Amino acid sequence: MALTSTDDEHDPEGQTTAVDRSRTEALLAGAERRLEDLDAAELRLEEGTYGVCEVCGRRIPLARLEVRPTARTCVDHAA
């Protein structure tokens, strides 16, 4: 017998279970995006393009990279 219910409709704790599941999925998706961003930054580092704005080609200020090491654009072109 499972320790957790998968039948939210009839489970008195169903809403809590669904909310917890949704929150966990959102956290996982966010972590996956951050890992993808880090992988892309590592690739730019290997290619020698890390710290260069992908829009204008200017150097991204060090202060921005310290706060957001995965930044692809300068502040002027940040979305």
How does residue 1 score in pLDDT terms, banded at 50, 70 and 90?
Answer: very low
Q: How confident is the model at residue 11 (pLDDT cuts 50, 70, 90)?
A: low
Prediction pTM value: 0.71
Q: Structural domain tally of the chain?
A: 1
Tell me, yes or no, whether 53 lies in a domain: yes
> What is the Cα Rg of the chain in Å?
20
Specify if 5 maps to a domain: no
Q: Is residue 8 part of a domain?
A: no
How far apart CA 56 and CA 73 sit, in angstroms, is 8
- At 72, the amino acid letter reads R
Residue 41 forms part of a structural domain: yes
Among candidate residues 7, 30, 29, the one with its CA nearest the CA of residue 17: 7
Residue with tokens 């951050």: 34
CATH number of the domain to which 50 belongs: 1.20.120.910
For 48, the domain range is: 14-77
Is 9 a member of any domain? Answer: no
What whole-number distance in Å separates Cα of residue 62 and Cα of residue 46? 18
pLDDT tens per residue, range 21-73: 999 999 999 999 999 999 999 999 999 999 999 999 999 999 999 999 999 99
Measured distance CA(26)–CA(74) in Å, rounded: 28
Q: Is residue 67 included in any domain, yes or no?
A: yes
Confidence of residue 13 (pLDDT cuts 50, 70, 90): low
Confidence of residue 6 (pLDDT cuts 50, 70, 90): low
